[in-house]
């Protein structure tokens, strides 16, 4: 590991030196530093800032501080009751030990698990711009079917972010130049010809919190994750959904997919198709198919199209038939 200087952040509005990086739980950044993928000169630890609280918002929503640990967020009674999809997504990710360190901000900004990205001995446009993308012809079994580009087909690996996308969460960021709020669905960029830029954040912008809007029907919401083993593995496909059904018709629906795109994929086309329609398995499949028309699978990841389609219909069907939220 390259050596660095360790500092603690004193304020979100402080200037971040050019080669400095924020450190939160370290479960992704320290790993990438060991691998030689991340080489910051300075680490600025954000976990000593008072950003570790979950507070009620006046409209009935919740503000989740950037350094709230994933395990504490998943266990919070307000999250479990009002946004079960978020609690479930968090608990489906990583392990008990990792969730005790991982933070809200760090989870959102964790980097792709593409094997080439994590191995500096190989080319990779995201890690070394212009060096090429060996994944296209090589190992892309768990890479993107939606939103990728010629230059990069990385997926964003977070489970939490998929639930946040479905819930319409807003990310609050702060830097020396001020504060702004970004929809979580707009936080991660599609790669285009700049796969080295994961997000729309400028250097030095710190995530301070994530705001969850009031969404009464999210009490009926769920997360389902498919993976290569029963637990402690990244998703190969996942679905976050909230459903409001009245008289057999979809009054409102929120749907987002994980492990299929460079960002948590909010399925707005499918949502639009479903509003006002009968809440049937058939309609759920048809809506997923419409959203998946944009899919561009490669040799070894076409299974994700079928997987996502079937997971979507299964989750929505179960939510439709669930008399009560859980």
Ligand X SMILES: Cc1cc2nc3c(=O)[nH]c(=O)nc-3n(C[C@H](O)[C@H](O)[C@H](O)COP(=O)(O)OP(=O)(O)OC[C@H]3O[C@@H](n4cnc5c(N)ncnc54)[C@H](O)[C@@H]3O)c2cc1C
Smallest distance from another protein to CB 53, Å? 17
* 10, interface contact from another protein, ligand X, ligand SF4, none, CB < 5-8 Å by kind: none
Q: Could you please report the per-residue DSSP string of 110-128?
A: PPP--TTTT-TTS--TTTS
What's the order of all strands across the beta sheet hosting 265-266?
221-227, 235-246, 249-258, 265-266
Nearer to ligand X, 207 or 320 (CB): 207
x/- map, 24-63, ligand X, by CB under 6 A: xxxxxx-x--------------x-----------------
Task: Provide the binding-site residues for ligand SF4, judged by CB under 6 A.
Answer: 112, 114, 116-117, 124-126, 133-135, 143, 152-154, 195
Q: Could you please report the per-residue DSSP string of 74-101?
A: HH-HHHHHH-HHHHHHHHTSS-HHHHHH
Binding of residue 3 to another protein (CB under 8 A): yes
Nearer to ligand X, 94 or 146 (CB): 94
Considering only 50, 59, 230, 247, the residue that binds another protein (CB under 8 A) is 230
CA distance 91 to 70: 8
For residue 169, the Cα-to-chain-centroid distance in whole angstroms is: 11
Binding of residue 279 to ligand X (CB under 6 A): no
Q: Which of 46, 48, 96, 56 is nearest to 72 (CA)?
A: 96
Nearer to ligand SF4, 114 or 212 (CB): 114
Nearer to ligand X, 157 or 297 (CB): 157
Q: Residue 318: how many CB atoms within 10 A of its CB?
A: 13
- The residue whose Cβ lies closest to ligand X is 106
Structure tokens at 90: 């968090």
The SS3 assignment for 194 reads coil
Q: What is the DSSP letter of 269?
A: H
Contact 102, 25 (CB under 8 A): yes
- The neighbouring-strand residues paired with 282 are none
Considering only 10, 15, 19, 34, the residue that binds another protein (CB under 8 A) is 34
Smallest distance from another protein to CB 101, Å? 5
Contact 153, 116 (CB under 8 A): no
Structure tokens at 52: 């570790």
The SS3 assignment for 167 reads helix
CA distance 20 to 240: 34
Q: What is the DSSP letter of 69?
A: B
Binding of residue 45 to another protein (CB under 8 A): yes
**Which residue reads 């504490």 in tokens?**
72
Considering only 68, 82, 142, 159, the residue that binds ligand X (CB under 6 A) is 159
* 297, interface contact from ligand X, another protein, ligand SF4, none, CB < 5-8 Å by kind: none
Q: Which of 39, 91, 43, 85 is nearest to 69 (CA)?
A: 91
Considering only 93, 148, 168, 195, the residue that binds ligand X (CB under 6 A) is 93
Binding of residue 73 to another protein (CB under 8 A): no
* 170, interface contact from another protein, ligand X, ligand SF4, none, CB < 5-8 Å by kind: none
Nearer to ligand SF4, 168 or 262 (CB): 262
Nearer to ligand SF4, 104 or 125 (CB): 125
Give me the residues that bind another protein (CB under 8 A), please: 1, 3-6, 23, 26-27, 30-31, 34, 43, 45, 47, 71, 74-75, 80, 87-88, 91-92, 94-98, 100-101, 230-232, 326
Give me the residues that bind ligand X (CB under 6 A), please: 21-29, 31, 46, 66, 93-94, 98, 101-103, 105-107, 109-110, 157-160, 206-207, 234
């Amino acid at each position: 590991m390259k050596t660095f200087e360790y500092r603690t952040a004193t304020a979100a509005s402080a200037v971040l030196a050019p080669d400095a990086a924020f450190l939160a739980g370290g479960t992704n950044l320290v790993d990438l530093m060991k691998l030689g993928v991340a080489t910051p000169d300075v680490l600025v630890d954000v976990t000593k800032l008072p950003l570790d609280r979950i507070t009620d918002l006046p409209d009935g929503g919740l503000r989740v501080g950037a350094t709230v640990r994933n395990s504490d967020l998943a266990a919070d009674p307000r999250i479990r009751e009002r946004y079960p999809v978020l609690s479930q997504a968090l608990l489906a990710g990583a392990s008990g030990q990792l969730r005790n360190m991982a933070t809200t901000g760090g989870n959102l900004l964790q980097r792709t698990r593409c094997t080439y990205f994590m191995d500096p001995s190989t080319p990779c446009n995201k890690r070394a711009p212009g060096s090429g993308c060996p994944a296209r012809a090589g190992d892309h079994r768990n890479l993107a079917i939606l939103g990728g580009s010629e230059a990069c087909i990385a997926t964003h690996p977070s489970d939490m972010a998929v639930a946040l996308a479905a819930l319409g969460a807003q990310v609050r960021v702060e830097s020396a130049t001020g504060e702004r709020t970004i929809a979580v669905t707009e936080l991660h960029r599609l790669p285009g010809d700049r796969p080295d830029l994961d997000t729309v954040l400028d250097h030095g912008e710190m995530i301070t919190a994530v705001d969850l809007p009031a969404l009464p029907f999210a009490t009926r919401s769920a997360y389902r994750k498919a993976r290569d083993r029963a637990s402690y593995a990244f998703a190969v496909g996942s679905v976050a959904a909230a459903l409001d059904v009245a008289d057999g018709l979809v009054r409102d629906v929120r749907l987002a997919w994980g492990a299929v795109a460079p960002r948590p994929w909010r399925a707005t086309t499918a949502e639009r198709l479903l509003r006002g329609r009968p809440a049937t398995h058939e309609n759920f499949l048809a809506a997923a198919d419409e959203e998946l028309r944009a899919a561009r699978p490669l040799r070894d990841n076409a299974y994700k199209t079928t997987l996502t389609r079937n997971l979507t219909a299964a989750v929505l069907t179960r939510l439709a038939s669930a008399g009560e939220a859980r």
